[in-house]
Amino acid sequence: MANRRNPHDRKRSNRLSSGLRNIGTAPGCSSATGCRMMSKRLQLAAAMLLSLAGAGGAIALPDPFTDERPRYQEALHALERGNLQRFDALAASLHDYPLHPYLQDRRLRRDLARASDADIAAFLERHADTPLADRLYDDWLEHLGRTRQWSRFERFYRGGGDAELRCYHLRATRTTGDRAAWLDAAMELWTVGHSQPDACDPVFEVLYDSHRIDSDALWERIALAMAEGRLSLAAYLGKKLPAADRERVEFWRYAHRRPAAALNDARMQADDDSVRRIRLHAIQRLARSQPDSAYAALQARRDQLPGDDYHAALKYVARYAGIRRSDNAYAILRAVPADWRDAEIEELQARIALLARDWAALLETIEGFRHQDSRFSEWPYWQARALDALGRSEPARQQLLTLSGERFFHGFLAADRLNRPYRLNHRPIEYDEADLLALLQRRPGLWRAGELHRLGRTWASRREWYHASLKLSPAELELAAALAHEWGWHDRAIWTAARAGRWDDVQIRFPLAYRDQIEQVAEQFDLDPALIFAVIRQESAFMADARSPAGALGLMQLMPATGRQTALQLRLPRPSRATLLTTSANLRLGSAYLKRMLERYHGHPALAAAAYNAGPHRVDRWLPDDGGFEPDHWIDTIPFRETRGYVRGVLAFTAVYDMRLNGEAVPLARRLARVVDVHGKSGG
């Protein structure tokens, strides 16, 4: 269901025709031929909009590109086979097809080494508004740099770029221009904590030959390398120092690997710049695993560290004390001076107080916040809980009352405590077909992205969409979110609505995509459909081909091993990665695994969601031994930030989808039984 200014308008096609007639002269249309071409493209765009809108359930008209699309695919196949005559003929016939630039790009790339400067320049100018131009520009310059065609390189180079391009530029201009400025630019590239591309080696050789890299410069880069944990680079640089300094570098590497032992080493008693750096590094390394010991070491050596170094180290140690939840975490966090505190230190201090149920300390910490943007965080809710626990029931009730009108996890918890209904606060983006058509006229990148999406070119389509979105005004971003929603391209609709700051268009941000399939697997595994929708919304935002850096796949972000194990339990064939990316298999296996987690934890959705995200072995460790924590407290003291956010998201989204599917929501208080006797470690 689209969000329309006039949902009862039965003359959508007439309004669209009128909208097309009233667009007027296209921007950049400077000739009769150009205007006719633009008019042709606008008509195609209008038809495309209408045809693709059917995917969102609003309008369904014939597809205008049924002839062009197969010819586009045929052209690509002809190019792959080397039939250039056939390719050129097909490409010429597709001049007004939105993806014609992609054919030109493929043609140039087929033999990039033989492309002329004129061909490359013409493409870059003609298609400057596409991501193709940026990629071709980089690849072309890399080719010219690798083949040392310096004059041609400089003809195209516009400045900036990655380290490889910048080094090629310096190589191209080594004998021209301001020598001092050249050396300064080269030093900027050299003075980093990681290795640079091989293309930079000739540039750095000039630096060494010019004696710009002295011992101070070497120590500076060694410090950067050690800060990034690049021990091999530090050792390589250390070889360029005198023997005594090389020994210091080796001691620094030792301190990185064995910080506690290094802090007690006699060599740590020296008082010079390099040892002070090593001492500070060792304390910070120790803080990662033993923050209380690191704090003790820091206090014992306070006089050996300058003020700023001491406070920077204290903040670093305090951060890990809070993350590791060490015995002295609260005191260490509280010791960080006001000028050195930030939002993370404040939050960690509050969470340690919450973990201990120290209501007075929690309230003091929250009321002392200076860096938190806390409207939609957990802290106003816990401020109310702390006030109530300390006997200040009326201000607690007022705080909960304010929160109860908001659509997020802690707003729903506040509503439950006051026995108030949840509020969706739905504020739809207002648009009609003419608005979307005008958007496509102004921003043809969205038009190309839609056609790529239609062809199943998912990565290219998202790249095109992202590139186009960078140039959109806030109002255009809203319309682009609506456009993606109309096309049924839900992951882009959700992403674009977020970029536009339109958090309250519930239909766009919480679509009912795949509803029939989800309800089928929900019935099969006796699951609440709202919970499955919520997991998908949290995991992939309806990106069916999503792949996480960890290897999770598809709508429900199944790890391949989990998918295989679940398939075995269901007596299904062993699924491949490609199978796990199909909607049907992903929904079935993901829902089956979600059901397993619910059974393991006796139907508790918070524990099941945490296990789905972080693994049941971790949830078993996180459960209180006495089983006495309340669910809100348990959720907000989960050790992993990602899992805390994940569980809150799944539960809040379950309530939203409950309201979308059923008109009202089962209160979270009813879904979340007290975390008692739910260890279930024998389940499995």
Residues tagged active-site: 539
Contact between 64 and 71 under an 8 Å Cβ cutoff? The reply is: no
Contact between 563 and 574 under an 8 Å Cβ cutoff? The reply is: no
Reference 343, options 370, 312, 368, 382; nearest CA is 370
C-alpha to C-alpha distances, 559 to 525, 565, 590, 592, 613, nearest whole angstrom:
20, 10, 10, 13, 11
Reference 582, options 554, 541, 550, 540; nearest CA is 554
C-alpha to C-alpha distances, 642 to 377, 514, 610, 646, 673, nearest whole angstrom:
14, 26, 10, 6, 23
- CA atoms 55, 58, 59, 60: torsion sign: positive
Which segments of 500-528 does DSSP mark as H helices, in order?
Answer: 506-509, 515-524
What is the enclosing helix (H) or strand (E) of 634?
Answer: helix 631-636
| Residue 477 backbone phi and psi in degrees, to 5 | -60, -40
Reference 445, options 134, 232, 64, 196; nearest CA is 134
- The string of DSSP letters for 336-374 reads S-GGG--HHHHHHHHHHHHHTT-HHHHHHHHHT-SS---
State both tokens at 474: 């806030």
Phi-psi region of 604 (alpha: psi -120 to 50; beta: other; left: phi over 0): beta
Reference 541, options 648, 655, 649; nearest CA is 649
- The distance of Cα 60 from the centroid of its chain, to the nearest Å, equals 34
Q: State the maximum Cα–Cα separation within the chain, in Å, rounded to a whole number.
A: 87
Residue 582 DSSP code = S
Distance between CA atoms of residues 510 and 611, nearest Å: 23
What letter represents residue 11's amino acid? Answer: K
Distance between CA atoms of residues 572 and 32, nearest Å: 63
- CA atoms 32, 34, 36, 38: torsion sign: negative
Number of H helices, E strands in the chain: 40, 0
- The distance of Cα 404 from the centroid of its chain, to the nearest Å, equals 29
